[in-house]
Amino acid sequence: MSRSTQYIGLNKYAHELVKDAIKTETYEMTTGMFVEPVNGRIYHMAKENDLDVASIRYVEIVQTSPWSSGPMIFTHLRREWVKNDGTIEPEEGEMYCSWMLDPALRGQEYDYETGRYYV
């Protein structure tokens, strides 16, 4: 079995949350086991009713990276507020659509549909 970085990414619920993004951009989120870049995405969403907020964005960040012949990179979303003056204010403490550790998946590693993993 060869060793490699395995980007798993977002689960089904995260993809549903950002499916209506008005703009998506890619950024270097982390590096893999051979120091190769692993990209994440920033999802720009429509403005909410807050007068001080120009838009909302969800940033894909690494949630966990357990080892299975290399790191398996599971990601989730952090919400950020883009203010009218252009400043960005991350939401404190809250992450969206995280993967859940579930020992019942023993031998399966992860299930995209339920958002559960066990590595």
Q: Please report whether residue 46 resides in a domain.
A: yes
Query: For the chain, what is the largest distance between any 2 Cα atoms, rounded to a whole number of angstroms?
Result: 54
Strand partners, 111: 116
Q: Please report whether residue 112 resides in a domain.
A: yes
Measured distance CA(84)–CA(118) in Å, rounded? 42
What is the total count of domains within the chain?
Answer: 1
Angle at 115 between CA 80 and CA 35, to 5 degrees: 70
Q: What is the pLDDT of residues 16-43, one digit of tens each?
A: 999 999 999 999 999 999 999 999 999 9
Q: Please report whether residue 58 resides in a domain.
A: yes
Q: Helix (H, G, I), strand (E, B), or coil: what is residue 24?
A: strand
Q: Please report whether residue 1 resides in a domain.
A: no
Q: Taking the model in full, what pTM does it have? A: 0.91
Q: What is the pLDDT of residues 43-72, one digit of tens each?
A: 999 877 767 788 899 999 999 999 988 899
Q: Please report whether residue 78 resides in a domain.
A: yes
Q: Please report whether residue 33 resides in a domain.
A: yes
Residue 1 has pLDDT above 80, yes or no: no
Q: Please report whether residue 73 resides in a domain.
A: yes
Q: What is the mean pLDDT of residues 7-20?
A: 97
Mean pLDDT of the chain: 93
Q: Note down the domain range covering 30.
A: 6-118
Q: Which residue do the tokens 């590096």 mark?
A: 31
Q: Which residues contact 106 (CB under 8 A, 6 or more apart)?
A: 118
